[in-house]
């Protein structure tokens, strides 16, 4: 069928803030959908609260609503826009849930909006466990046995059918707390009882245990004519028991015969038909008993998913784009395959390489939490690698992670006692792969490792081959050959073999204890070069039109560099806390801008969730690790006239110097100037030269050195290692004992790795400034005033643009400082400065001469694409030529609010501090600052209450300030609950307060109130480490019960003002296009 002409206007819903389990893959899918449908001539209305997305760029949709993705706000958008259709399947679970809510409540009917892609009954059938189970049984497929219990009796009634071992999962507990596996009835009764008491809704899911079974996924697409194709098959290296998002996965499936694979394929086709997903992509997970081959269906996502993004990048087949086209009526055979241009999209991609995906975790930021990998996803990002073999791909994947591994390296702890090693192998953990290496090195058999890990022996064998080869490498006298570059047939062959097995130059350098550059030079002199092959969807059966490459050590290179002027953009690699979608946004913008200026753009990245790794974002795409070796290899091949390192976050910046030394032309601010801003001593000199102030500070290389420095600065001080991103290991230290603890345990300072000690400016206002400079002229993009005081990491603070409490004098001063800094650091491109204002004095906290996390937010707030302008400036244009010389101060307010992953990490300290912990952010825009703040809160998932009970418990120094806040709450009709100290202060100020005990001091405590659903808002400022457990419990319960909690006085004040604004009238919605007019 050709496309539908009975619909003109389509509403697309995004996925909101980046959270664990829902990251930039939904920007990739939403962006593809917007592009695909716009190109078909439809009018696109978009709702997404995440400003860091490409899809919310005003050119991607006709009407872009950066508004909370909640049923009531989306209803307002529908009321305003009257779309004909809603496409619910491209914005992750968030979009799907909101769409279902709107359909179920009758809103879609009321406004005659049609759900396209998947209809309500299909979504319900896939999402509702009981309906899904029934549907599977109807088509003769098995699902693991399971049941729901609300009491011990119900649970006991279930167990006969389910059998032991049984998995107990309490509903809605943090990170699945209270769950477990019971092997006998006694254990079962115990676990059920605890589980029921921990679950806020007293509900348990009891499941048959299939832990240790092999896990597989198929990506399926269906069109309106009922054509169904499988786009990609995926095998999980980690078996059932580890969430697929936390598993190392491989595409295609490696260990199933055709017979078994086809059975699975048939099942997948039957499932998508039975569930009734009309058109588009679905992801279906299967488990297979390794002993008998019995297959069971685990679940189906009736929408584009994280795995779809991976499948798209792994095969070259753009699932989201095609899904969007199918949703408007096209059939698969009517859509061309962009990669081959001559064949249709109705086929099944076949690949002639191996793809490995490896997750990246951030447990170091959530100390105190259990690091076991379970069925709850905990990773914050992932890297994908493509290689000619599994061995090559896994080694490339490990170095793509940028976590300090250069391949399948040795675990730093070599001689773990066997009992400990076996438990490290048995209990899934972040470093399990490297424990496998330890086991292999000490000669443990594949069978034994399998008995602990249940990782298919096929993968273990491949890992063993790497280990065995590495052993043979280290026994060969290769070093002299490398050192004098003398060629020898055997040595050349051995080195070539090493490269074929995916060994990096750095790994070889480590084995022979020489410099990486020496390995590189010798290797090249032996003629061992990286060769590049094309991702073409068809295993070379047809010629590929799109230059999408990966490296593999082989005989033929397919890259045909053009003689056009080329600029290479280095991406940000796997997402991590502090470096995520914002940087990918900037890289994508660079590619778009440079294309319009006539350059050929080359993108290098290893993150499959991104828009930057779409084959049509840049002219040429290299899906490669962002290490020096891999980047230099591409550089040697392509010889671009410039390389951009300031857009991909810390990843490319870390490479800048080495690349420059190797002769790579870095464009934009020079690596030397970047170093001047990052090196404490050099930066001090810069500031002294131009007469700007820093908080008093010093540098220490040992604990002994640190104490006198801290004492002279006066406590509290902020301590941190040099050269970090996202405030890694940064802390506020209140006394000498804590200082020693930090110096000795947290960072292990040394002369090479000094620790920076800053005076902590208490109760200072923090301000972020983003600016752009062409070397002569500097223009401010935006000034953002933080709501939380200085000391909370800027990525974790709410901030407001334009500033809402600063006076003109202060703003002028900030501007003047920024111009001076840009000139002093010879900035060409973007620059971000963090200031603290205390007692009318402006201190420079930090300067980053690169794209910052706030660039997308500022660009959206002011309506100017700063990253695009910066890319063009780096390529030689002046701001004058680009027409950006006037600073924009919007008449409306934009608030940025962070979103935290604490619900995944029970036990971790959820207090905010100088170390960044948020995974994403949202934006609220309104003419009124309090309403903008309310919108941002709502977009974070906290709907501010308009009435009810507010619990207040603050530290002594906040007691004065909280009086006004409490007073305002009572004026607005709230009842107050407080702990002793706070209550006393409030009572004295004439307010009525319900008294609760601190935990352990009597009953009722705040816990009792929360459990009785009698708390609607919490203001709880931390008192220091003493009451940590108390505070932690309150925070944890607040998170579990979705109660808005504010832990700073300014934050609480903003919330109270926002409630006031909300009480005086409903919020309204307005698209970016109207704000930017």
How far is C-alpha 179 from the geometric centre of its chain's CA atoms? Answer: 26
Q: Is 75 helix (H, G, I), strand (E, B) or coil?
A: helix
> According to CB under 8 A, which one of 339, 519, 538, 674 is a site residue for another protein?
538
List 258, 563, 752, 840, residue binding another protein (CB under 8 A) = 258
State the nearest-atom distance from the C-beta of 140 to another protein, in Å. Answer: 11
Helix, coil or strand: residue 827: coil
Of 14-22, 75-83, 185-193, 340-348, which part binds another protein (CB under 8 A)?
A: 340-348
Q: Which one, 355 or 790, has the nearer CB to another protein? A: 355
Q: Minimum CB separation from another protein for residue 526, in Å?
A: 17
Region of 621 on the Ramachandran plot (φ > 0 left; ψ -120 to 50 alpha; else beta): beta
Of the two residues 257 and 415, which places its CB atom closer to another protein in the complex?
257
229 interacts with another protein by CB under 8 A: yes
Q: Which one of 41, 121, 163, 293 is in contact with another protein (CB under 8 A)?
A: 293
Contact between 662 and another protein by CB under 8 A: the answer reads no
Are 756 and 722 contacting, i.e. CB atoms less than 8 angstroms apart?
Answer: yes
Of 208, 348, 370, 448, which one interacts with another protein (CB under 8 A)? 348
Give the range of 348-356, 475-483, 705-713, 819-827 binding another protein by CB under 8 A.
Answer: 348-356
Cβ 575 vs Cβ 649: under 8 Å: no
Q: Does 388 bind another protein (CB under 8 A)?
A: yes
Shortest distance in whole angstroms from residue 555 CB to another protein: 4
φ/ψ region of 995 (left if φ > 0, alpha if ψ in -120 to 50, else beta) reads: beta
Residue of 470, 469, 443, 445 whose CA lies nearest to 457 = 445
Q: What is the largest CA-CA distance in the chain?
A: 91
338 binds another protein (CB under 8 A): no
For the chain, the residue count is: 1077
Please, which residue, 231 or 732, has the CB nearer to another protein? Answer: 231
User: Could you say whether residue 1025 binds another protein (CB under 8 A)?
Assistant: no
Q: Tell me the closest approach of the beta carbon of residue 815 to another protein, in angstroms.
A: 57
CB of 456 to another protein, least distance (A): 6
| Interface with another protein in residues 352-371 (CB under 8 A) | 352-354
- Could you give the strand order of the β-sheet that contains 717-721, starting from the edge strand earlier in sequence? 697-700, 755-759, 717-721, 731-733
Among the listed residues 923, 927, 940, the one whose alpha carbon sits nearest the alpha carbon of residue 804: 927
Strands of 63-65's sheet in order across: 63-65, 43-47, 9-13, 85-87, 114-115
CB 499 within 8 A of CB 553: yes
Asked if 225 touches another protein (CB under 8 A), the answer is yes
Q: How many CA atoms lie within 13 A of 158 on its CB side?
A: 24
In this complex, which beta carbon is closest to another protein, that of residue 256 or of residue 825?
A: 256
Residues 438-457 that bind another protein (CB under 8 A): 446, 456-457
CA distance 337 to 1013: 54
Q: Is 266 in the site for another protein (CB under 8 A)?
A: yes
CA 802 to chain centre: 27
For position 213 contacting another protein by CB under 8 A, the verdict is no
User: By C-beta, is 213 or 481 nearer to another protein?
Assistant: 213
- Fill in the per-residue mask, 21 to 40: x = in contact with another protein (CB under 8 A), - = not in contact: --------------------
Kindly give, in sequence order, each residue whose CB lies less than 8 Å from that of residue 925, ignoring residues fewer than 6 positions away: 66, 67, 861, 892, 893, 894, 895, 932, 935, 1070, 1072, 1075
DSSP one-letter string for 149-200? ESSHHHHHHHHHHH-SSEEEEETT-GGGTT-EEESSHHHHHHHHHHHHHHST
Asked if 275 contacts 122 with a C-beta cutoff of 8 angstroms, the reply is yes
Q: Could you tell me which of 244, 265, 374 has the C-alpha nearest to residue 309?
A: 244
Pick from 111, 164, 172, 347 the residue near another protein by CB under 8 A: 347
Q: Is residue 212 at the binding interface for another protein, with CB under 8 A as the rule? A: no
- Using CB under 8 A as the binding criterion, the count of chain residues that bind another protein stands at 58
Q: Does 291 contact another protein by CB under 8 A?
A: yes
Q: Please tell me whether residue 542 binds another protein under the rule CB under 8 A.
A: yes
Q: Is 885 in the site for another protein (CB under 8 A)?
A: no
Q: Give the residue with the Cβ less far from another protein, 392 or 758.
A: 392
Question: Closer CB to another protein, residue 351 or residue 656?
Answer: 351
Nearer to another protein by Cβ, of 550 and 1046: the residue is 550
Query: Would you give the binding string for another protein spanning residues 390-419, x where CB under 8 A is met?
Result: x-----------------------------
Looking at the Cβ atoms of 312 and 731, the one nearer to another protein is: 312
Q: Is 545 in the site for another protein (CB under 8 A)?
A: no
Residue 3 vs 1027, nearer CB to another protein: 3
Q: First-to-last CA distance in the chain?
A: 39
User: Of 336 and 1002, which has the nearer Cβ to another protein?
Assistant: 336
User: Is the CB of 489 or the CB of 1026 nearer to another protein?
Assistant: 489
Q: Pattern of binders to another protein over 458-477, x per CB under 8 A?
A: x--xx---------------
556 near another protein, judged by CB under 8 A: yes
Least distance (Å) from another protein to the CB of residue 282? 17
**Whole-number minimum distance, CB 42 to another protein, in Å?**
25
Is residue 590 a contact point for another protein (CB under 8 A)?
Answer: no
Part in contact with another protein (CB under 8 A); list of ranges 104-112, 550-558, 705-713, 1041-1049: 550-558
- Angle of CA points 642, 644, 647, to nearest 5°: 170
Q: Three-class SS of residue 985?
A: helix
Q: How far is the CB of 221 from another protein (least distance, A)?
A: 11
Q: Per CB under 8 A, does 141 bind another protein?
A: no
Site string for another protein, 305-334 (x = CB under 8 A): --------------------------xxx-
Q: Output phi, psi for 367, to 5 deg.
A: -60, 145
Give 567-616 as a 3 state SS string.
Answer: EEEECCCCCECCECHHHHHHHHHHHHHHHHCCCEEEEEECCCCCCCCCCC
Q: What angle do CA 1042, 1048, 1049 make, to 5 degrees?
A: 115
3-state secondary structure of 300: strand
Of 272, 344, 357, 347, nearest to 313 by C-alpha is 357
Stretch that binds another protein, among 175-183, 227-235, 684-692, 1064-1072 (CB under 8 A): 227-235
Binding flag, residue 265, another protein (CB under 8 A): yes
| SS3 readout for 819-881 | HHHHHHCCCEEEEEEEEEEECCEEEEEEEECCCCCCHHHHHHHHCCCHHHHHHHHHCCCCHHH
CB-facing half-sphere around the CA of 970: CA atoms within 13 A: 16
CB of 250 to another protein, least distance (A): 10
Distance CA 532, CA 514 (A): 27
- 541 interacts with another protein by CB under 8 A: yes
Q: Output Rg (C-alpha) for the chain, integer angstroms.
A: 29
In angstroms, give the least distance from the CB of 43 to another protein: 30
How many C-beta neighbours within 10 Å does residue 646 have?
33
Q: CA distances (Å), 495 to each of 405, 519, 555, 637, in order?
A: 20, 10, 14, 21
Identify which of residues 407 and 802 has a Cβ nearer to another protein in the complex: 407
Q: Is residue 259 within a helix (H) or strand (E), and if so which, with residue range?
A: helix 258-275
Is residue 263 close enough to count as binding another protein by CB under 8 A? yes
Q: CB–CB of 108/118 below 8 Å?
A: no
Q: Is residue 533 close enough to count as binding another protein by CB under 8 A?
A: yes
Q: Does 261 bind another protein (CB under 8 A)?
A: yes
Instruction: Using CB under 8 A, pick the residue from 389, 423, 658, 777 that binds another protein.
Output: 389
Residues near another protein, by CB under 8 A: 225-227, 229, 233, 252-263, 265-266, 290-293, 331-333, 342-344, 346-354, 388-390, 446, 456-458, 461-462, 533, 538-543, 554-556, 558
């Amino acid at each position: 069928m050709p496309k539908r002409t009975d619909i003109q206007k389509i509403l697309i819903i995004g996925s909101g803030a980046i959270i664990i389990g829902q990251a930039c893959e939904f920007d990739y899918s939403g962006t593809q959908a917007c592009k695909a449908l716009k190109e078909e001539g439809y009018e696109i209305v978009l709702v997404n609260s995440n400003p860091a997305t490409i899809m919310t760029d005003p050119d991607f949709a006709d009407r872009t609503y950066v508004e909370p993705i909640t049923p009531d706000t989306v209803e307002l958008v529908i009321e305003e826009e009257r779309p004909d259709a809603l496409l619910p399947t491209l914005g992750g679970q968030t979009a799907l849930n909101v769409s279902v809510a709107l359909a179920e409540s009758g809103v879609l009917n009321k406004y005659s909006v049609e759900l396209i892609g998947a209809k309500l009954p299909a979504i319900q059938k896939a999402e509702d466990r009981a309906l899904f189970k029934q549907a599977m049984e109807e088509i003769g497929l098995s699902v693991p046995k399971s049941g729901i219990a609300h009491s011990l009796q119900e649970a006991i009634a279930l167990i006969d059918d389910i059998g032991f071992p049984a998995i107990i999962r309490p509903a809605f507990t943090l990170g699945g707390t209270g769950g477990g596996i019971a092997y006998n009835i006694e254990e079962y009764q115990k676990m059920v009882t605890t589980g029921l008491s921990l679950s806020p809704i007293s509900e348990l899911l009891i499941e048959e245990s299939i832990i240790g079974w092999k896990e597989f996924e198929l990506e399926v697409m269906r069109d309106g004519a009922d054509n169904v194709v499988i786009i990609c098959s995926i095998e999980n290296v980690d078996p059932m028991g580890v969430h697929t998002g936390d598993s190392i996965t491989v595409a295609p499936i490696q260990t199933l015969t055709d017979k078994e694979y086809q059975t699975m394929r048939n099942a997948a086709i039957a499932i998508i038909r039975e569930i009734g997903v009309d058109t588009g992509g679905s992801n279906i997970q299967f488990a297979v008993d390794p002993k008998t081959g019995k297959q069971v269906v685990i679940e189906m996502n009736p929408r584009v998913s994280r795995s779809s993004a991976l499948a798209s990048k792994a095969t070259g087949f753009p699932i989201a784009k095609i899904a969007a086209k199918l949703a408007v009526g096209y059939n698969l055979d009517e859509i061309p395959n962009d990669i081959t241009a001559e064949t249709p999209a109705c086929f099944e991609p076949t690949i002639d390489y191996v793809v490995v995906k490896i997750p990246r975790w951030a447990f170091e930021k959530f100390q105190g939490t259990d690091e076991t990998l379970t069925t709850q996803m905990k990773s914050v990002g992932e890297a994908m690698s493509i290689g000619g073999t599994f061995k090559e791909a896994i080694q490339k994947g490990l170095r793509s992670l940028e976590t300090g591994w250069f391949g399948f390296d040795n675990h730093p702890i070599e001689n773990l006692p066997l009992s400990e090693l076996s438990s490290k192998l048995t209990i899934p953990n972040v470093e399990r792969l490297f424990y496998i290496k330890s086991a292999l090195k000490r000669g443990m058999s594949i069978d034994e490792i399998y008995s602990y890990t249940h990782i298919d022996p096929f993968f273990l064998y491949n890992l063993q081959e790497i280990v065995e080869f590495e052993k043979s490498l280290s026994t060969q006298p290769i070093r002299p050959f490398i050192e004098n570059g003398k060629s020898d047939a055997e040595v050349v062959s051995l080195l070539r073999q090493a490269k074929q097995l995916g060994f990096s130059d750095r790994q070889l350098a480590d084995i022979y204890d020489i410099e990486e550059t020496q390995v590189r030079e010798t290797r090249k002199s032996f003629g061992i070069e990286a060769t590049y092959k094309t991702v073409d969807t068809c295993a070379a059966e047809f010629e590929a039109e799109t230059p999408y490459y990966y490296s593999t050590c082989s005989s033929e290179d397919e890259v045909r560099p053009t003689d056009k002027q080329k600029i290479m953009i280095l991406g940000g690699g796997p997402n991590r806390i502090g470096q995520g979608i914002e940087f990918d946004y900037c890289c994508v913008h660079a590619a778009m801008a440079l294309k319009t200026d006539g350059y050929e753009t080359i993108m290098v990245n290893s993150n499959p969730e991104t828009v930057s790794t779409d084959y049509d974002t840049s002219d040429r795409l290299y899906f490669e690790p962002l290490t020096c070796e891999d980047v230099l290899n591409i550089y040697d091949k392509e010889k671009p006239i410039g390389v951009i390192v300031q857009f991909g976050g810390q990843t490319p910046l870390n490479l800048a110097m080495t690349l420059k030394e190797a002769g790579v032309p870095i464009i934009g601010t020079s690596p030397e100037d970047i170093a001047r801003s990052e090196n404490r001593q050099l930066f001090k000199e810069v500031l002294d030269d131009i007469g700007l102030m820093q908080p008093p500070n010093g540098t220490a290389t040992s604990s002994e050195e640190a104490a006198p420095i801290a004492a002279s600065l006066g406590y509290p001080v902020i301590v941190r290692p040099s050269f970090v991103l996202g405030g890694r290991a940064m802390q506020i230290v209140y006394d000498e004992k804590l200082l020693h603890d930090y110096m000795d345990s947290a960072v292990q300072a040394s002369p090479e790795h000094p620790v920076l000690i800053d005076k902590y400016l208490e109760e200072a206002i923090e301000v972020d400034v983003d600016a752009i400079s062409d070397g002569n002229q500097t223009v401010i993009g935006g000034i953002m005033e933080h709501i939380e005081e200085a000391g909370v990491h800027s990525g974790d603070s709410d901030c407001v643009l334009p500033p809402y409490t600063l006076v003109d004098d202060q703003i002028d001063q900030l501007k003047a400082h920024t111009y001076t800094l840009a000139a002093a650091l010879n900035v060409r491109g973007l620059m971000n400065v963090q200031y603290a204002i205390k007692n009318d004095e402006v201190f420079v906290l930090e300067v980053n001469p690169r794209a910052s996390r706030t660039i997308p937010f500022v660009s959206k707030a002011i309506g100017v694409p700063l990253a695009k302008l910066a890319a063009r400036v780096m390529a030689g244009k002046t701001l004058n030529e680009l027409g950006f010389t006037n600073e924009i101060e919007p008449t409306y307010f934009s608030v940025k609010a962070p979103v935290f992953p604490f619900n995944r990490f029970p036990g971790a300290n959820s207090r905010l501090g100088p170390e960044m912990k948020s995974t994403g952010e949202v934006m609220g825009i309104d003419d009124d600052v309090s309403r903008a703040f309310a919108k941002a809160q709502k977009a974070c998932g906290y709907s501010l209450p308009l009435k009810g009970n507010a619990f207040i418990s603050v530290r002594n120094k906040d007691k004065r300030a909280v009086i006004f806040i409490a007073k305002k709450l009572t004026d607005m009709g709230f009842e107050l609950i407080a702990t002793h100290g706070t209550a006393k202060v409030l009572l004295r100020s004439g307010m009525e307060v319900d008294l609760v005990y601190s935990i352990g001091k009597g009953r009722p405590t705040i816990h009792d109130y929360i459990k009785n659903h009698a708390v609607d808002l919490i203001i709880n400022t931390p008192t220091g480490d003493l009451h940590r457990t108390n505070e932690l419990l309150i925070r944890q319960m607040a998170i579990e019960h979705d109660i808005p909690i504010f832990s700073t006085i300014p934050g609480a004040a903003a919330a109270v003002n926002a409630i006031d604004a909300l009480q005086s009238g409903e919020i309204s919605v307005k698209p970016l296009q109207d704000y930017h007019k």
